[in-house]
Structure 1
Amino acid sequence: MLSSLRCFLLALWLATLAVTPASAQEAESNTSAPAVAPDPFGRETPRSAVSGLIDALAKRDYNRAANYFDLPVQDDPQVKDGASELARRLQTLLDSGGTLLPFARLSNEPAGRIDDDLPVDRELAGDLKGSGGEAPLLLTQRSVDGRSVWRISHETIRELMVASATTAASAPSKDIVGIDVAGAPAEDWALLIGLAALSFVVLRLLAAATLAVVRRGISDPDANGVYRFVHAALPPLSLFIAVMAFYTWAERLQVAIVARQTLLRYAGGVAAIALVWFCLRLVDAVADVAIARMHRRARRQAVSVVTLLRRAAKILLLVFSIVAVLDTFGIDVTTGIAALGIGGIALALGAQKTVENLVGSVTVIADRPVQVGDFCRVGDVVGTVEDVGIRSTRIRTNDRTIVTIPNGDFSSRQIENYAKRDRFLFAPKIGIEYTSPAKVREAVSIIEDVLLSHEKVSNDGPRARFTDFGESALEIEVFSYITVTDFAESTTVRQELLLSIYERLSAAEIGIAFPTRTLFLARNPGDDQPRRSGAEPAAPADDS
């Protein structure tokens, strides 16, 4: 308890500060100084200041806790003693029902929160309960030895000073009584841990009961989307709601602030894990439904995209949970994230081809130039698409071999998809034997009549035209479309048309030409004279 002298000195000093001209305080805060070492008490941010204060109160080191009050404790020993007594009283009031903001809600920025209704140099850290009712526990930012630090403000100090001795005396003392664990009585730890366990057990049982009721009301739960969603959501949601219930109930208990604030701090990490767990199960449930739908529609390449997105979402969620847990333990992840960014650039440069293939996969699947089962030409490769994967596309050629093309290369090639044809071109060149012009006109008319009379030939301008005098035939060019989409069926129609044309031309005694060549053989004029040598042959001898 403060002595009368100490109360007087503190009141006098506070009154002096109250009438100090604002310009002098601004001059003090704007004094530029060279770079200085970090604050030894860790008061750079509201979060670190509250954490340091709790650590000092847990160790009952009230001399150290005095440094977290906006008082010149280094200049005046009496003021330091008074500030130590204020720290003791602060702990007593917090143990008696006062509250501090959860660890995650305290700003970890040097400038504090700027989106609240307080001045820029003020930060709300909690609430005090005294004889006059609730009062905010405020932090103020000032420059101390060239450092900008956060400490308990004059407004809160006044509240602590005006709190009557009876209020402090009537508050339950949290000095060491019996077993002390980490700066708080063991029974307080047991009460809070029991409350947390009870919250989780009750909510988990409620979740199991709800799941059983829903399952009983559905004929085929495994195929029902609502049941699958409830089954995926209830376990993590029960944990998250249990943490929120623990937050609500723990703040109403009159237990040691050290135990309460410590467990609430780590409960925030559990809440983050529960939220990530819920998102992971939700991602799995949505992905399973999407994959089943893609299988029913025979869109196998879309399954690869869903699988890739599922893995990417899970990785991001796990990274978020790791960052949240590390932040709960007070580990600064900013440097680590920067290092990961540099490492990511290096990895991206080293895995450039892999990234290119992944981007190519997204392009191929989004643009869908081919699908599994399509017959196509990709560059100089002709075959049927068997699989569109995350990294590559596999094509089975007509020789029954498998050609694997990386998707980065696949997406940049010229792709001709024969399966997308809505009709087939029928444009043969028919050569007839050299004959009279009337027969040529008859042949053209016969071919056009065959085209027009066939039901599978498009009536959009089929034609036959005599186009050229060939070396061995009179050439008639045909142009029309076969209105089928199946390749095998198109070959059947093509055969019917060619046979019909052949039969009609044969019946009209118009022959189909084939390459011919006539050879004329002749003797040279001198070949009928006997060959002579340079000397006359000798006369035969007379035997008579």
Structure 2
Amino acid sequence: MFRPFPPCRCLLPLPLLAAFVLISFAPARADLTAAPAADPAKTEAETPPPEVPAEMRSPREVLETFVTRMRADEKSDAAKLLNLSGLSAVAAGSRGADLAYKLYRLAPVLGDPPNKGDGEDLAFWESPSTELDFSKAPDDPDYPEPWPLSEWLKYPKPEAQAITIARDEQKHWRFSAETVAQIDTLYEQLEPQIEELADRRAATAPPGEAEAVGEPTATTGHWLRQQFPQSWRTTHFLLPSYQWLLLLLLLPLGRIAELLTRTVLTTIGDRVLHRIDPDVDDVNDSTVKVWRPVGRLVHAAVWALGARMIELPSDVTSILLTVLVIVTIIAAVLALFRVIELVAGYFARRAKRSNRRFDDLFIPLATSTAKILIGLAGVVATVAVFNDKLPATLIGGLGIGGIAIALASQETLSNFVGSITLLFDRPFEVGDYVKIDTVEGSVESLGFRSTRIRTPLDSEVTLPNSKLASSSVDNWGRRKYRRYLSKLGLEYGTSPERIEAFCEGIRELIRRHPHTRKDFYAAYFNDFGPSSLDVLLVVFFDVPDWPTELRERHRLLADILRLAESVGVAFAFPTQTLHLQRDAGPEAPPELADPDPDTAGARAAAQIAGELANYQDRPGRVKFPGPTPLD
């Protein structure tokens, strides 16, 4: 019988799952301090066989327990005495009680069960007052062959040979799988005689015993069957006609249930969502996407319930219920995907209101990880539909294929570990402008396997997280200030006084600019260029992003142009000057003030620099005062 896994088992944390797998692979030992291992042959001989339930030890125990349980209306317990291995896990859970009920009603038609009174040819074996005689059934657990019910019945019909009790591989005696496969066919073939016998017994029952002589409570499927005439119970195209009619009725019922579920839950869900988050988007964040797969799940549940109530043939039940369970699993997985997206959207909106950029990085990764885990759980549950021995079989298979899976998924696991490393190390946030090797751009998202970066060319680059975790990340988005460095070339004919006035004017512009760093800046005559007198400009902008930096840089450079025009300096550009002269030659320069060239140069420098300053009088470090007060 199919039993869906509880969520807590399907979503085991990876470390616990790994530990469980390792433990399951290890050899089992009852006591680590036990004595050395005994002889294998002796151990195997002393190992007791698995205990067989008392009601399955022999054909007699099976037959007597089956009759007793059916008389007590314990159809589900009686179904345990049927070998349902020929049915799927889903069909076995659905049809067990129905098959037990049909077998119980079928047996008296195949022959009269013997009773201990020996005076009645007609044994009321459904009556509690009738004590049946089971002594003809073998009580030997090692009976050598399947035992047919015809050896117990009086006046058995040929069809009784198809009802046998056999021992399975676990040495449990049950009604054989071949018998189970024949129950539906025999019941439909002998149904008129079954109904006639039931009516005859009810009519001839002693006073006050009519109710007891009846039968165990009819199953839902049998009750539905009795509501139709005999002609509708005849099989046409795999199913009786009445079952085709009931299946057609399930179409509108399932659709109505789906629409009703979606409408009611969407209305309630949207109201609750608006109360929790007033900023929710009515179009994109409506709960209708969540309840759409839930509606399909309800539709599938209506069909599954209807199929169980109709009690279709075993093969049809197996196929139909298997498909419905798979549809249910898919619908549940899709519904959980929508719930995750809705919850992620809620936390993303909270993160925007609180300006917590870490949430922008964590929420997409957590969303994708949760979806992957749910998807894997859905796959395991789907596989379990076809094998009710999961997860033991699956885990046992991992012992053989675990190494191959690990090697094949090495890159995927390394990317996942890389994403966890990036999440805790946090070298960048969503929106940061980064440079990683040769790639630069704004970080858009951190995923389960990779990180997406939007380049200045508006292209999207995907980097594996394993490579990203081992690369050097230059995060420009975390700069406290944004530096701007440039050389302003002035014409060579500019006087020193104008250069000093120009440089001081630039420093004053920086001091008065609203978005510049005030504790460090530079604007000084720095070099003699090939075609200009170079002024070095270093300024740091205190701005949050690239567009703001462009705007404030534009403002500063435009002010510098106005300043140059105001103090009378002109910017140079690369030129070549061609001098034309007559044969008389150039005018001779003035004579040096002193015949000695070194003395003449030193004298001129002393006049420009002034008197030699003492150590205490020399200028100190550069200070960065505030704006100069002016009248």
TM-score by length of 2: 0.43
Larger relative strand fraction: 1
TM-score by length of 1: 0.49
